[in-house]
Structure 1
Amino acid sequence: MTLREELVEYAERSSGLIDDSPQMDEENTKRKVIEPLIELLGWNILSSGVELEYSVQMGSGTKKVDYALKLEGTPVVFVEAKGCDTPLEQSHENQLKSYMRQVGVDWGLLSNGRTFEIFRRDVSSNRPNEVSLAEFSIKEAPENKHPLRALSRGSITSGESRQIAENIEAVQKAVEALRKNKESLAEDLTGIVTGVAGSAVSQHVEDDAKSFVDDLIESLEEQTHREDVVNQRIRDDRIVSTEAENTEYVIRVTRNGDEIHRVNEKMQSESVASLVNYLIEEEELLDEIEIPYIPGTGRGSRALLNDTPEHPNGKQMKGNQRMSGGYYLLTHLSSKDKKRYISELSKKVGLGCEFTGKW
C-alpha cells in the first residue's frame, strides 16, 4: 500500500472517530488520531525512537513535549498534540516553535486531530526561525502526502525531507511574489497585448490578465503535492556531493538509465532501509511481491521483508529496521547480499540500482 493510500484510510478512519466524538479530549486524541499517524510515518511508538513527554529546559523550569521522534537518541521531530475539543491558537504554535528552537530540532508537527500544521526550522540566515511548511485538515491529509512524508523516518534518515521542504518553500515564495505583484503583472501583460492588438481590448485583457495570475498561483500551489516535481528537484539538485560519495553508502535508483532517486547514509543498513521505504511509498513495491518476501528462489528460510520481525519458520529477524506501513526489513546481511537483494527488489518495480561511495 502506498503512503497516499495509507493516508486515505487514516483520514477516513480518524474523521469517523472525530465525528462520533467531536469533543474528544487530549488523551483520546493522542491515542486514536495522533499516534496512528506517527506509526504510519514509520516511527514505532513502542521503541526507543519515540519518547513521550520529552523534557525541554526552558529558562529555570522544565517543559514537556508530547512526542520526541529520535534518530540515534537525538530528537529530530517534535510533535505537540491538543484534544479535538481544543481549537488551535497562536500560543500553541509559539509553544512548539520555542521547543524546537531551544533544542535545535528541525521539524515540528502541531495538531488537535482536526487540523495539522507542519513546521521546519530554517537555518539559512544568521537567526534561525521556524516556518510553516503546510497547514491542512484531517480530510486533506492525503493531498498533503509530501509535507507529511517529510516527517517520515525514512525521509529524514535519507535526507529527502530537506529536498521536499526546499521544493515547497520555493513554491511558497513564488506564490507570495505573484500575489504581491498581481496588479503590476496584470498591467504589464495588458500593456503588451494592447500594444499588439490595440486599446479596444485593454479592459477585457486586464480582467483576463488578473485571472491568469490567479490561475498561475493555483497551479503553483498544486505543484507542491506532485511527485514528479519533487523527484525532478532531487534530480536537478544532485543532493549527494563528491565528498559524500566518498564517505557514505550511496544507492542511485534509475529508470531507463536516468536517475530518479538517491539515498546516502553513513551505515549500510540505513541506506538499504531508506531505499526500501522509497520503493514501498513511491513505487508500489508491495503490489509486486508477496509478504513474507523471501529473496532469490523464494524457497529459503529467511524473509527479507515481513509484516512481523520474524522469519517464516518463526525465528526472530535479527538486525531489522521498521519500514513504512509497519513492515520489517532484514538488514543483518553481508554487503554483497544487501546489494544483491536490494537490486532484486528494485527490479520488481522496473528500476535499476547503482551502488557507489563506500560500497
Structure 2
Amino acid sequence: MGLQSEVGEYVAASEELLEGSPQMDESNTKRKIIEPLLELLGWRVVSADVELEYSVQIGVGTKKADYALLLEERPVVFVEAKGADTALTEKHETQLRSYMRQIGVDWGLLTNGREFRVFRRDTTTQTPNELLLASFDLEDAAANTLVLEALTKEAIAAGEDEPIAQQIEATLEAIAVLRDEKPTLATDITELVTAETGEAIAQPVEDAAKSFVDDLITTLESRSHIPETDPEPPQPKPGPEPDGRYQIVFSRAGDHVATVSADSQADVMTEGARYLVDHEALLDAVSLPYIPGTGRGSHALLNETPHHADGSEMRQANEVVDDVWVFTSLSATDKHRYFPELADVVGLDCQFEGDW
C-alpha cells in the first residue's frame, strides 16, 4: 500500500475519532491522532528514535518540544502538539520556530490533529529563517502526501527530504511569480502571437493567455499536491438588490455592509475601490503603490498615478479619487483574487455576484 492510501486510511480513522470527541484534549490528541501519524511516517514512538519532552535551551531557561524525531541521536524533526480543542496560533508557530532555530533542526510540524503546519529551515541564507512549507487540514492530508513523505524516517535517512523540499519551494515560488506577473506574461504572449497574426485578434488572444497562466497555476498546484491558497469567503447576508450587471458585495462577520454595481468589470472594481477609500479609510491602511499578491512584483493595483511601481504605464486604469488610480486590466479570475486583498485590509470580506 502506498503512502497516499495509508494517509487516506489514517484520515478516515482520525475523523471518526474527532467526530466522537470534538473537544479532545491535548493528551488524547497526542495518543490517538498525532502518534499514529508519526508511526505511519516510520517513527516508532516507543523507540530510541523518538524522544518525548525534548529539552531545548532558550535563553536562560529550558523549554520542551513535545516530540523530537532522532537519527543517530540527533533531532531532525521537532513536533509541537496541541489538543484538538485548541486553535493553532502564531504564538505556537513562533514557539516551534524557536526550537528549530536553537538546535538547528531542519523540519518542524505543528498540529492539533485537525490542522497541520509544516516548517522547513531555510539553508540558503545565513540569516536564520524557518519557512512555512505547507498548511493543510486533516481532510486534505492525503492531497499533501508529498510534504508528508519528506517527514518520513526513510526519506530523511536517505537524504531524500531535501530534494522534496526544494521541489515544493520551487513550485510555490513559480506559482507566486505566475500570479504576480500574469498581466505581463499575457501581454508578452499577446504581442508574440499578434506579431504573426495581426492586431485584430489581440483581445481574445490576451484572454486566452490569461486563462493559460491560470491553468498552469492549477496544474502546478495539483501535481505538487499543494492545495489552492484562495479559500472561499463566507457568504454574506443579502443586501439591497443591485442594478448593474456586475456586483461586489462587502460584508463584515457575515453581515452585509455595502454593495456596489456597474455594467462593466472595470467600473465595478473602480466603484468598489472608491467605496473602500471613502467609507473604510483604505488609504490610511495601505501604502501606495499597492502591489497585490506577494508584494514582490512591479504591477500596482492602486497608485497615485496611472503607472506601475516600475514606472510603466497602466494599460487600463480608472481614477478612484483625486490622485488615486486603480489598475483594471485584469482577468475576472485575477479581480477575484486580488481585489479582496483591499477589502481584507480594512476587515471586510467581499463576494462577486452578477455576470462574473
Q: Tell me the TM-score range normalised by the shorter chain.
A: 0.5 to 0.7
Task: Report whether the alignment pairs 1:109 with 2:115.
Answer: no
Secondary structure in 1 matching 2:143: helix
Deviation at 1:190, TM superposition (A): 1.7
2-side partners of 1:106 and 1:69: how far apart?
Answer: 11
Gaps of 5+ in 1: 227-359
2-side partners of 1:7 and 1:145: how far apart?
Answer: 8
Paired AA for residue 66 in structure 1: D
Q: Can you list the C-alpha shifts for 1:22-51, whole angstroms capped at 9, x where unaligned?
A: 211111111111000001111110111111
Task: Report whether the alignment pairs 1:48 with 2:42.
Answer: no
TM-score, normalised with respect to structure 2: 0.61
Match of 1:151 in 2: 151
1-side partners of 2:81 and 2:211: how far apart?
Answer: 39
Paired AA for residue 24 in structure 1: M
1-side partners of 2:150 and 2:174: how far apart?
Answer: 21
Q: Can you list the C-alpha shifts for 1:203-233, whole angstroms capped at 9, x where unaligned?
A: 222222111111111111222249xxxxxxx
2-side partners of 1:94 and 1:221: how far apart?
Answer: 27
Paired AA for residue 170 in structure 2: A
Secondary structure in 1 matching 2:116: strand
Q: CA RMSD of the aligned region, Å?
A: 1.4
- Report 1:9-88 matches (<5 A): 9-88=9-88
Paired AA for residue 203 in structure 2: Q
How many residues are matched? 226
Deviation at 1:197, TM superposition (A): 2.6
Secondary structure in 1 matching 2:44: coil
Deviation at 1:149, TM superposition (A): 1.0
Paired AA for residue 186 in structure 2: A
- Report 1:241-256 matches (<5 A): none
Q: Can you list the C-alpha shifts for 1:8-34, whole angstroms capped at 9, x where unaligned?
A: 110111011112222111111111110
- Report 1:153-192 matches (<5 A): 153-192=153-192
After the TM superposition, list the runs of 4 or more consecutive aligned residues in structure 1 that deviate by more than 3 angstroms: none
1-side partners of 2:191 and 2:15: how far apart?
Answer: 50
Secondary structure in 2 matching 1:51: strand
Deviation at 1:195, TM superposition (A): 2.4
Identity percentage over the alignment? 58
Paired AA for residue 223 in structure 1: R
Deviation at 1:101, TM superposition (A): 0.2
Deviation at 1:199, TM superposition (A): 2.4
2-side partners of 1:51 and 1:126: how far apart?
Answer: 29
1-side partners of 2:32 and 2:98: how far apart?
Answer: 26
Paired AA for residue 27 in structure 1: S
